[in-house]
Structure 1
C-alpha cells in the first residue's frame, strides 16, 4: 500500500517519468520516457543505488512547443563508475558469505543520478516503486521489478536533500556515501537520512584548526552555489572566528560559470592579499576556475581542499603546476580485498552487458563499440570516433576507475552496503517477543517496511576491514580524516602523501596531528604567510583599523613605562614602580638606583672642590695662626676670624655628606649640619660687622659702646644665633625629620634615591633663618662701608654678602626645578659657591697683605687716613 501511495502521489502531482496502473485496465502504462541504463541484479531484497556517473548538464532553453529532449551532460565520471562497481562487489561478497544473511539474497538496482536533482528524483522514484519492463502489455504485478526499501546515495548534499524531501514522508531510508553537509544531521527535517560519510561539522573543525595551526589569519573562501558549500562556509566562518581567522573574501559562484561570474571571482581573488584559498566544491566546478587562474597567471595561491576534491587525481593531470602543495582533509581510506581484480575483469567481451560499461570503454579508449548507445554524454568528436579494435586493455592506460590506491568514497559505499546487510541480519535473527517494537515484535522481512528498516539501522554497529563502524544519534559516523598533501611523484603523477590526521574521538587539544617534515609547499620550502597585517612583535600592541576586520590592524609601540611580552598583544602592561621597560619594551627590568655617587664624574668634581675648599680654609687658618700677632690679624678681631675659618672649613666638608647613597641618618646629618654650620658662619660675620661698626662709633667723643660689645658679648651673640638655628633643627628632627626615599613617581628607568626633607616648613625655616642673618649682616656692613680707615673690613663683608645672596637666590628656582642627583649637585654647588665667596671676599685681602705686602702689615700703615 505504501508503494502504491507513492506511485499515485508522484504520478499525478509531479511531472516525472513513472509507470502507473490504468484506471480502466490492469495494463501497465509508463508515463514519460525512461532510460534503461542501469545495473540490476535480482535478489530477495533489492538495494537501490544513486551515483553521479554523468555530471555538468548542457544548458538549453526549452520552448515547450515540442516535447523536451533528454538532458545531455558534458562529462563522464570513471570514478563514479568505480563507486557503482564497489556496490555490486559488496553485494556479491555478502551473498557469498555464510555468516551474514544466510537465508537472504541481496540484489541491487543502481541508477545514474547525473549529479542533477531532476534526474536523481526520477531515479529515486523508480527505485522505490520498482522498474517496469517497457513495452509489455501485461499487468503491473507481472512486469514490475521489486522495489527497493532503501537507497544508497546520493553523492551530493543538495541532491540528497531533494530526494529526502521527496521520500522522507514515506520513511524510505537514504544512506549516503558522500553527502557531508551538516544540515543533513537535522533529524526533524531529514529523519530518514543516514550516512557513512562524516558530517562537515567535523571537517570544518579540522580545517579551522589547520588554518590556525599555520597562523593563516587572512583566508579567501569560495564555494559553489549549493547547500553543501553554503552550510560548510557558514560553519567555517563560525568555527574559524574562535581562532581570530578572518575571511579575506567569501564568494559563491554558480555551478555553470559564465564569463561574468568568472570575471567577478577572479577580481576578488586578485584584489585580495590573501595567499591561502579554501574551496568548497566538486572537481568539475574547480576545473573552470583553475583554467582561468592559469590564463590570468594566478599561480601563487596555496589551495586548501575540502574533502569533495581532496584526493581528485583528475585535476592533477592538467593543473599540477597550480595545485602542487595543496593540503586537504580526506576521509579514511581502506584496502578492500579482491576489489582490484573485480574491477579489472572488464574487457571487450563483457562490456556489452551494461550500457554504462560500454560508455566507459568508449570514453577511456576514445573509440566506438558496436551497438553503442552512448547518448548521455555531450562531447565534440564522439560521432567521429573509430571502432574499437578489441585489443584494448586497462593495463595500457590510467583510469580513475581502476585506481584503488585511494579507496575513500568507495570504502564509504562498501560500508553502506554492509550497514544494510547487518541491519537485515539483525532483523532476520530477531526473536519474537524481544524485538524493538511494540509488544516486543520484530521487524517484517516480507514485505520489508522502510520505517522498521530505518529503526534497526540507527542501532546497528559492526566491524568491517578492522574498523568499528557505529553511528551517533544523528546517524553520522565517528569522524576521522587524513590530512593529504599533493606532491609530485618521480614520473610526474600525483603523489598523495598523508601528512597528518584529525580524529574527532580524541581530546580537543590532541585531535589534530601534523607531520610538518614531510609536507611539500606550493612555493619555497616553508609554509606561506597569509595575513592581513603582520603580527605585532613584543613591545607593541594591536590597534584595530576602523571599519576593517579584526585581522587588519596597526602595530603601536607601547607607551612610556609599558611593555607587551606576547606577540599580537591587545594591550600593553604598565611596569611596577620598581621596574622599567627594557629597550625592546618586552620586559620589565629592575630600575637602577640614581644618586650622586663618588664614582661618577660629577661627584668626583664636587668632592675635589669640597676638599680643596677645606684645605684652602685650613691653609688660611694656618697663615692666621702664624701671623696672629701682626696688626692686620689682630686688628680684625682675631678670635672671630679663627671661629669663622673653622666654621667655613666645616661648611666645605659638609658638602661631602651630600655625595653618596642617602640613608636616614645621613639625610638628618646633612641638613642639620648644613643649617647650623652656615648659621655659625653668618653669626660670626654678623658679630665681626657689629664690632667694626661699634669700634668706629667708640672713637667718637663721649661714646662708650664697646664696653657693651666686648669679646664675651661677641661669643655670646654667636652662640645665641646658632642656638636659634639649632632649636629649629631639633624641632624639625623631632616632628618630621628628613629621611631617605626611593622616588618612582617620574617615568624614568631609574629609581631616584634622595633625601626627603620630611617637613617642608622645617627645611625652609632653616634656609630662611640663614637668609635673615645674612640680611642683617649685609645691612650693618652696608652702613659701615664708608667708615674712615685704611683698612675697613665692612667693605669686604658687604661684597661677600652680595655674592652669598646671588648664590642662594639663584639656587632656589634651580633647586625646585631639578630632580635626582642634579638637585643634590645644585645644593652642593650653592654650599661651595657661598663658602668660597665668604672665604675669598673676607680673607683674601688680609692674606694678600700678610703674605705679599708685609710693609702694609704695620700699625702705622693701618692708622693712616
Structure 2
C-alpha cells in the first residue's frame, strides 16, 4: 500500500512525512506485519500537473492508463495534500470520484459540491477560530485602524467579507482593503511592478500601523517582494515600521534569490500559526540527514546544493564550492531551513498517524469479523472508501502527548498558536510562541497572550505600537464622528457643563450622580458638600447679628414709647396702633432667625407662615395708621360724621381683618401642601443644599402678593394724605417708608429667582430685615428724635402752636 503527498517547496515537509512513516512502521503496536509506503508528487503549482499526478494515483506505477490498476503491492488508500487550497481543490476533483480519503494539511478550499467535502479531512483547524483570534488580538492591543491585504483568490474574498462584517461590529475600521494579484514576474512584469509601487506607497503612507496580510503558504514570497521595493526604487515612500498580521496559511518561504534580502522588515510580525509541538526524535532524525548517509532520499542532493550553495560535481569551477556532505542542517539560517517542526510539518506528521490509526482500527475490525464468519480475507483487498468510517472516529495521542481527532465536519479539533516573528541580522529568525487560541473556549474568550513577551519593530522603539485613525480622546472629552470618514475617525470635543468622561475614547459624556459634580477638567466626579445657611458661617452670623441688633433697637423704641406713653407725640395717631406696629416689627426681625440654621419640619412650617402673619399685621397697622390720619383730618371739618370712626373703632377692625385674611391663606397652605425640609441637588453645582421646600409655589406667591397688596394700599393712601396739615402727621413718613417697603419686595422677586442655594434664604432674610428697618426708621425715627433729643417739642402747646 502507499501513502501519497504532493511535493512542497519546504524540504522539512517531506522529512516530516518520512519520519512519520518510519515511526509507524517501527511501532509494533500499530499495523503489525504491515508496512506503509508513500509516493511524493509535485504539482508545480499548475493545474494540469496536479491533475496528472492525481490520475497517476489511480494507475499502475510507471504506467498511465487512468482507472486501471493491477499492482496489488501498490494499494492506494489515502492522499495527503495539498499545501495550497487551489491544489487541494484540484486533487479533490479526482479523488472524490473514487471516494479516496484526502487529508488536507493545508488550508481547505471552498467546495461547491458537498460530495467532495465528505471526501477530505482537514488537519488545518477551523478557520473561524483564526478570524476570531485576529479580532481578539486587535481588541487586546486596542488596534482599531487596520490595513488589509489579501490574495485575489476565493479564500481571500471570503476572508475579506468575513472580516469587514464581523470586525466592524467590534469597533474596528479599515484604512484600506486591497487584494494583490498573482505576482508573476515573467508574463506581466509591467503591471506587477506598477501595482507593487502603488501598494507600497499606500501602505507606508497610511496612518494604520497594523496591516493584515492574508494569503497562501507561499504568499510570504510576495510580501518579501513588496517590502524589498525601497532597495530597488528610491523614489517611492520611505519605509516605516508596520506590525504585519500574518494568517496561519502563510509559511516562511522564499525564492532562491530572496535568501539574501534583509528580513528585518518583518521583525515583530504576528501570526496565528498552525499549532505545533516538538516531536521526540525528530531533531535527531534531522541531524542524521546528509547526502552520504541517506541514499534513498531523491531530494536531498538537490536541496543540499541549493541550501549550502555548493555542487556535487567534480568539475566545479574555482568559484564553486564542493559539497562534502559534512555540512550541518542546524547551521542553515531559518530562511533556508528550520530545525524545529513547523505547523505544516506537524500537520503532515499527524496526518500520517491518523491514516495509520484508522487502518489499524479497520484491520482490527476485519480480524473480529473474520473470526465470527470463519472466513479469511486479505487486508490487501481493503478499498479506500472503507477507510472513511474509521477516519471519522479516529482519536489518538501522538508522541508529543497531544490528542488528534476530527469533529463531525472532518476538521481537526485544534487551535492556533500566537507567534511573534523575531528576526536577526544573520538572516535567521525565531517563531516565538506568545499565546494560543483555545478551540474549546468561547470564541470571544479563546485568546490568551502574554503582552509583555512581544518583540516590536525597531521603528516603535520596543514600545507597543498604536494603530488608530487619530489620537485617543482623553478623559474629559467625548468622540464626535467626522462626516464622510469611517467611524474610527473622530474629533475630540470637551464635555459640556455638568458632564464628565472618566475614560479614554468615550462615545458620550455622562452626568454625575445627584450627590456629585464634575471637576474643572470634567474627568472625575467630586462629592458635593452639604450646605445650608448656618450660624457658623459669616453670612449667617452677620444676618443673625443684624436681625438681633434691629430687634434690640425696636425694643428700645418700644420701651421709650411705653415710658412716654402719655406724651402728646405718642398719643397722636392712635397709640395702640403704634405699639402693635412696633411689636410686629420686633417679631419681624426675630422671624428672620427662623431662616438661619439647618431646616427641620418645625422651622419649615413656621418660616413663611409666621413671617407672613407678622408682616401682614405690621402692614395692616401701617394701613390703619394712614386711614386714621385721613379720618382725623376729615373729622375736623364742621358737621363731619367721621369723628366717630377716629380711634380704635376703625383701626382694630382693619388690623384684625387684614391679619385674618392672611392667616386664612396660610392655613389653606398648611392644610393642602405644607412646606417641608428638602434636599436640593440641582440648584448649585458643587453643593447639596438643605432647604425648605415651599411645596406650593402658588401659595407662596399668593402670600407675598397679599402683602404687596396691603403695602400698595398703604402707600397709596399715605401718598394722597402726605400734605395734610398736622404737626405730627405720619402720612409723609408712612409714604416714604412704604416706598422703601415696596421697593425692597419688588426687587426681592427677581433677586430670589436668580439666586440659588443658601443665598436664596439670605435674600429673603435681607428683604425681611430691610423692609422692617425701613418701616422702623422712616416712621419712628422722627418721633424718637423728638422724645429723646427735643423733649420741649413734645407738649400740647407746641402742638397747638404748630397748628396755628
**Is the shorter-chain TM-score for this pair beyond 0.5, marking a shared fold?**
yes
- Using the alignment, how far apart are the partners of 1:133 and 1:728 within structure 2? 119
Q: Does 1:847 align with 2:778?
A: no
Is 2:129–2:443's contact at 8 Å kept on the other side of the alignment? no
Match of 1:831 in 2: 768
Match of 2:213 in 1: 279
Out of 177, 186, 195, the residue aligned to residue 122 of structure 2 is: 195
Per-residue displacement from partner, 1:140-193 (whole Å, max 9, x unpaired)?
98999947443222111111112212332222322232x123646985443321
Match of 1:302 in 2: 243
Per-residue displacement from partner, 1:404-443 (whole Å, max 9, x unpaired)?
22343223222222222233333333336749xxx99999
SS state at 2:50 partner: helix
Q: Does 1:361 align with 2:304?
A: yes
Match of 2:181 in 1: 254
Q: Does 1:521 align with 2:456?
A: yes
Q: 1:265 to 1:128 in 2, by over 3 A?
A: farther
- Using the alignment, how far apart are the partners of 1:343 and 1:779 within structure 2? 118
Q: Does 1:328 align with 2:254?
A: no
Match of 2:53 in 1: 123
Match of 1:472 in 2: 407
Aligned length: 777
Match of 2:552 in 1: 615
Q: CA RMSD in A?
A: 4.0
Q: Alpha-carbon deviation of 1:253?
A: 0.8
Matches within 5 A, 1:697-708: 697-701=634-638, 705-708=642-645
Is 1:618–1:649's contact at 8 Å kept on the other side of the alignment? yes
Q: 1:510 to 1:792 in 2, by over 3 A?
A: closer
Is 1:317–1:493's contact at 8 Å kept on the other side of the alignment? no
Q: Alpha-carbon deviation of 1:478?
A: 1.6
Is 2:96–2:115's contact at 8 Å kept on the other side of the alignment? no
Q: 1:129 to 1:239 in 2, by over 3 A?
A: farther
Match of 1:172 in 2: 100
Q: Alpha-carbon deviation of 1:288?
A: 0.4
Q: Alpha-carbon deviation of 1:259?
A: 0.9
- Using the alignment, how far apart are the partners of 1:405 and 1:365 within structure 2? 19
Match of 2:440 in 1: 505
- Using the alignment, how far apart are the partners of 2:319 and 2:259 within structure 1? 28
Q: Does 1:208 align with 2:135?
A: yes
Q: Does 1:52 align with 2:8?
A: yes
Q: Alpha-carbon deviation of 1:572?
A: 5.3
Match of 2:602 in 1: 665
Matches within 5 A, 1:340-419: 340-345=283-288, 347=290, 349=292, 356-370=299-313, 389=322, 391-395=324-328, 397-398=331-332, 403-419=338-354
Q: 1:454 to 1:386 in 2, by over 3 A?
A: farther
Of 419-428 and 300-309, the range deviating more from structure 2: 419-428
Q: Does 1:678 align with 2:615?
A: yes
Q: Alpha-carbon deviation of 1:717?
A: 4.8
Of 597-606 and 441-450, the range deviating more from structure 2: 441-450
- Using the alignment, how far apart are the partners of 1:514 and 1:809 within structure 2? 73
Q: 1:770 to 1:471 in 2, by over 3 A?
A: closer
- Using the alignment, how far apart are the partners of 1:328 and 1:851 within structure 2? 104
Per-residue displacement from partner, 1:712-757 (whole Å, max 9, x unpaired)?
6645654444344334433443344344444567685555544444
Q: 1:797 to 1:118 in 2, by over 3 A?
A: same
Q: Alpha-carbon deviation of 1:449?
A: 2.4
Q: 1:185 to 1:526 in 2, by over 3 A?
A: farther
- Using the alignment, how far apart are the partners of 1:504 and 1:293 within structure 2? 41
Match of 2:40 in 1: 110
Is 2:292–2:325's contact at 8 Å kept on the other side of the alignment? no
Match of 2:189 in 1: none
Matches within 5 A, 1:434-833: 434=369, 445-465=379-399, 466-487=401-422, 493-506=428-441, 508=443, 511-522=446-457, 523-536=460-473, 541-555=478-492, 568-570=505-507, 592-593=529-530, 595-635=532-572, 637-701=574-638, 705-711=642-648, 714-715=651-652, 717-743=654-680, 748=685, 750=687, 753-759=690-696, 762-815=699-752, 818-833=755-770
Which 5+ residue runs of structure 1 have no aligned equivalent?
A: 1-44, 54-79, 373-382
Is 1:316–1:323's contact at 8 Å kept on the other side of the alignment? no
- Using the alignment, how far apart are the partners of 1:201 and 1:724 within structure 2? 84
- Using the alignment, how far apart are the partners of 1:365 and 1:123 within structure 2? 30
Q: 1:622 to 1:342 in 2, by over 3 A?
A: closer
- Using the alignment, how far apart are the partners of 1:266 and 1:201 within structure 2? 29
SS state at 1:679 partner: helix
SS state at 2:421 partner: strand
Match of 1:4 in 2: none
Is 2:480–2:490's contact at 8 Å kept on the other side of the alignment? yes
Per-residue displacement from partner, 1:213-257 (whole Å, max 9, x unpaired)?
212122222122334444444444455345333333222112216
- Using the alignment, how far apart are the partners of 2:141 and 2:52 within structure 1? 46
SS state at 1:677 partner: helix
Q: Alpha-carbon deviation of 1:300?
A: 1.3
- Using the alignment, how far apart are the partners of 1:231 and 1:444 within structure 2? 46
- Using the alignment, how far apart are the partners of 2:720 and 2:282 within structure 1? 129
Q: Alpha-carbon deviation of 1:291?
A: 0.8
Per-residue displacement from partner, 1:56-80 (whole Å, max 9, x unpaired)?
xxxxxxxxxxxxxxxxxxxxxxxx2
SS state at 1:169 partner: coil
SS state at 1:661 partner: coil
SS state at 1:666 partner: helix
Per-residue displacement from partner, 1:455-507 (whole Å, max 9, x unpaired)?
43333333321232211222222213332223356977423322222221345
- Using the alignment, how far apart are the partners of 1:665 and 1:625 within structure 2? 33
- Using the alignment, how far apart are the partners of 1:371 and 1:448 within structure 2? 49
Q: 1:555 to 1:757 in 2, by over 3 A?
A: same
Q: Alpha-carbon deviation of 1:759?
A: 5.0
Q: Alpha-carbon deviation of 1:641?
A: 2.6
Is 1:632–1:846's contact at 8 Å kept on the other side of the alignment? yes
SS state at 1:501 partner: strand
Of 550-559 and 670-679, the range deviating more from structure 2: 550-559
Q: 1:211 to 1:273 in 2, by over 3 A?
A: same
Is 1:184–1:193's contact at 8 Å kept on the other side of the alignment? no
- Using the alignment, how far apart are the partners of 1:447 and 1:384 within structure 2? 55
Is 1:742–1:752's contact at 8 Å kept on the other side of the alignment? yes
Match of 1:32 in 2: none
SS state at 1:220 partner: strand
- Using the alignment, how far apart are the partners of 1:95 and 1:462 within structure 2? 17
- Using the alignment, how far apart are the partners of 1:385 and 1:335 within structure 2? 41
Is 2:313–2:322's contact at 8 Å kept on the other side of the alignment? no
Q: TM-score, normalised by structure 1?
A: 0.79
Q: Does 1:319 align with 2:319?
A: no
Q: 1:455 to 1:619 in 2, by over 3 A?
A: same
- Using the alignment, how far apart are the partners of 1:447 and 1:260 within structure 2? 58
SS state at 2:358 partner: helix
Is 2:680–2:690's contact at 8 Å kept on the other side of the alignment? yes
